[in-house]
Amino acid sequence: MKIVKVEDLNVGDNIIVSSNTKLKFMTVLKKPVIGKPRGWAPNDVNWKSVKCSIKVKITVLTYGSGTYTRTKNLKEYVPTFEDHDVNMYANLNYKNILLIEKNDDYAYNKN
């Protein structure tokens, strides 16, 4: 385990990134690409959002009474690197990225 930068990531790497008070256990699906420079920091390298996979558990919460009932979907990120079911784009600029496992021969065949 070590802390890495965005430019060190490759396809198949298992990483952990903090998200508020939780941790996201993600697998990198596409190699990071340099984006346009930001207006307030033109000399810094700006990376586009990186496509990652993650395991998400959705719980449906129903509240109210009588004719006033509402539902809300609560999203919870499951701390595991197995059985990922959601692909998402994560902005990893200015974040501490903890590299857990480096997979150089990872083959991703899903769309």
In this structure, are residues 93 and 6 in contact, taking their beta carbons and an 8 Å threshold?
Answer: yes
- Please calculate the CA angle 98-53-15 and round it to the nearest 5 degrees: 10
Calculate the average pLDDT of the chain: 88
The range of the structural domain enclosing residue 17 comes to 2-37+46-101
The answer to the question of residue 108 being in a domain is no
**Alpha carbon distance 3, 5 (integer Å):** 7
The answer to the question of residue 17 being in a domain is yes
Q: Which pLDDT band holds residue 110 (cuts at 50, 70, 90)?
A: very low
| 52 burial level (CB within 10 Å; 0-12, 13-18, 19+) | buried
The answer to the question of residue 33 being in a domain is yes
Q: Which pLDDT band holds residue 45 (cuts at 50, 70, 90)?
A: confident
The structural domain count of the chain equals 1
The answer to the question of residue 20 being in a domain is yes
> Would you state the pLDDT for residue 58?
95
The answer to the question of residue 64 being in a domain is yes
The answer to the question of residue 110 being in a domain is no
Output the pTM of the full model: 0.80
